[in-house]
Chain A
Amino acid sequence: MRGMPLLVLIALSPLLRANPTDELLRLVPAEATVCFIAQDLRVHAARTQASPFAEWVERSPWGKNFAASEDYQRLLKGQGKIAETLGVKVEALRDGIFGDAVVYAYLPGPAGKPEDDAGILMTRAKDSELLARMVAKLNEGQKQTGEVLRVVERTHAGSTYFAREKPEARNDFYFVDGGLLFYSSRERPMLLALERKAKAAVEKEVPLFAQARKRLGFERAAFAALFAPRSIDAELKAVSGVLPNEDARAFVQQFAKFWATVEAVGLALELDAHVEISLGLVSKVPAAEPAASALWSAVPADAMLAITGKIRWNELAETARAFLGEASSAKFQQWLDQSIAPIVGREMLPKLLAGIGPDAGAWLVPPAKDSKAFLPAFALAIRIPTIESADAKLRDTLRGGFDFLVQAHRVEYNRTHADQFDTETEKFGERRLTVVSNGRALPAGVSLAYGLCEEFFVLGSNPQSVGGFPKEVKADAKHAGLLVRFSASRTVKYLREHGKALSVALAEKSGKDAAELEREFAALSNTLELFESWELRATTRGELTKYTWKIEFIKPLK
């Protein structure tokens, strides 16, 4: 029984070992300002190559074109030759040497000397024998071809590293210890990494990039790029001081204030059944949790593209002013006073900015089957006060202002053109819609329509887009932070059905050949066919804010 804890520890020892990526990040020189990470390549490659998507893409027109392309074939041949020289398969290199973790750290050169920028590649190889063999083969092969003159042993910070002396003194450097490999084309990063390695064994403090990776939640990312935000503070300050333009100075100074609150920033790509590309930002100031926009429930099920969010217009105007110099801020106010204010009423403008929204959105849907239209139909909606609310007057203000703008444009157009725009009021159920039409100037099936739909002001490219707006919209937690959704599969369907008419219409406008445009749309369809949908979503967790672009392929990646 007394031996049990020891046995358990031995059994768990592989789990207790530091994660290879964390281990490498501990060795990154403190002078590094950017780190690129690739991890678990072995697992990701095996999983993806065996996925339903890989099987599908191999048979798809896009996959066939890609695989048959001269460059892809040349790349494969090149890989083959390199593998032959090294005496190992590319897959063995990927899995045995680079399969666990690879880190590339960038160290900027002194100010004004970008030619002294340097980097160091670090990897923790699973197969240390393969690594040693590959390094020996590489040296041997390159010595034979004269690319390397000699390999010289050097020592620094208690470690032995090697300089590969090359013609014209274009030396490079490497260090191998068991499965650990450092490689750099400059000596400075190598020396700094070896110093770091000597210290890392006794240091308890978690280094910057290891901390950043954890705080950004990028532990599972297949690829990541991490930035040290403090490394550019001084440069940002110096630049803002010398800008000649007052607005630019105000803008950069305001941005510098925001940047000072940023503690970690990075990009990551996660591979699951789909791909997620995230921009992560850890700030000293916790961000508010993004709420779901109720408008997602109004987006038609067949929408090709939808963008919705919650915009507080008065806060947005204040933020915009903060980024302007005093003179421009005054000019901006003057513009508001002379443009929108006269239309809605000067005293109404602040009320309008505070009263409309925050839900706002727009979407594109394919043309209805029974319509003559070939262009997608669009709709744009913004929340307005309810008819029972104290601000109900804003509803009329908005509609009246819009009526004025439409009439002002219509009168001028009709004055200078033979074809004429007509406006009429149409009843769509209980809704009164204004419809603006011109059979010659507008494409087939398109007429501008707008109206008040209960709690929303809706504008669309045909009366159905507005009249069909649902009577009730409701926020759903599953849409929290969702900003953009693009359906690639529906867009492909639309392009296949209407690509020809679209090509003809675009050819008329642009003077291009319609057949060529049609071929281009077919190529676009072939590429989009790889995807099911794209989504952009904002999420927050305490001090962490993430913008994630989720890419769903036509078949799952695992």
Chain B
Amino acid sequence: MNEPIPNPYHDPIWAYAKRERARVLIVSPGFAEGVERRLAADLRKRRLTRYAGMALAASVLLGVGFIALPRTIQEPAQNPQPAVEIAALPKLGEEWSEAGRSLENLTASAAKPALEPAKRLISGAENLRWPTPVGGEPRFPDFEFGPVAMAGLEPIANTPRRAVNTMLRDFGIAPLEK
């Protein structure tokens, strides 16, 4: 058990605690360090969640654009099989890669206007801090297992990620970042 830290407000608060049936008020040293460590872990988790949200939101918005918007640039309409001069054509693989890059850029730019302000709102809320109560706060256990456990669950995340990357590679689109 940790010893209470001496505090000028100890007595009035103790009296208040007694009155309100709270029997023990315990504080612990190292609270700030613990908070700092947890905040860093929290930040990593939040960043991961944001990226996942970003990818999902981008897919929905991109899907909306492709499905709902008209094709303002039309392919040759008169003859479904025009007599094309093959030798004059650009390399199909290059065209395909170029289309893949445009798709990749669209994914990022479709989501950005929606996600940037949302991120700003969240970071604004993150800046809010409660005042520390008189006598400090009991130290929350340092559950540092989060990132390590996530590493343990890597096989679950790794398989879909490799599958998507293999598909993107086969379709000539740049793979996802790890």
Contacts and interface: CB of A to CB of B under 8 A. Distances in A.
A317 interface: no
A147 B106 contact: no
B145 A506 contact: no
Contacts of B149: 243, 245, 247-248, 251-252, 255
Nearest to B121: A506
B30 interface: no
A252 B134 CA distance: 39
A493 interface: no
B32 interface: no
A413 B9 CA distance: 12
A404 B121 CA distance: 30
Interface residues of B, dominant DSSP: helix
A335 interface: yes
B82 to A, nearest CB: 6
Interface string B62-79: 011101111111111100
A54 B28 contact: no
A345 interface: yes
Nearest to A144: B86
Contacts, number: 312
A477 interface: no
Interface centre among A85, A400, A517 (most CB of B within 10 A): A85
Given A57-B69, A251-B145, A411-B13, A78 B99 contact: yes
B162 A114 contact: yes
A8 B175 CA distance: 51
A67 B70 CA distance: 8
Interface residues of B, number: 94
B103 interface: yes
Contacts of A526: 113
B151 interface: yes
Interface stretch (A285-293, A324-332, A383-391): A324-332
A468 B65 CA distance: 42
Given A343-B22, A400-B21, A144 B87 contact: yes
A346 B23 contact: yes
A328 B143 contact: yes
A63 B84 CA distance: 34
Interface residues of A, number: 123
Given A34-B160, A71-B109, A87-B80, A80 B166 contact: no
A39 interface: no
A87 B160 contact: no
A88 B20 contact: no
A335 B139 contact: yes
Interface stretch (A117-125, A204-212, A426-434, A459-467): A117-125
B86 A140 contact: yes
B13 A408 contact: yes
A413 B131 contact: yes
Contact of B92 (A85, A92, A405): A85
Contacts of A439: none
B163 A106 contact: yes
A244 B145 CA distance: 10
Contact of B144 (A114, A247, A521): A247
Interface stretch (A153-161, A233-241, A350-358, A535-543): A233-241
A506 B13 CA distance: 35
B102 interface: yes
B69 A509 contact: no
Interface centre among B26, B28, B117, B151 (most CB of A within 10 A): B117
Interface string A42-77: 001100110101100110000100110101111111
Contacts of B162: 106, 108, 114, 117
8 contacts: A57-B68, A71-B103, A73-B72, A73-B73, A83-B76, A117-B163, A232-B159, A397-B21
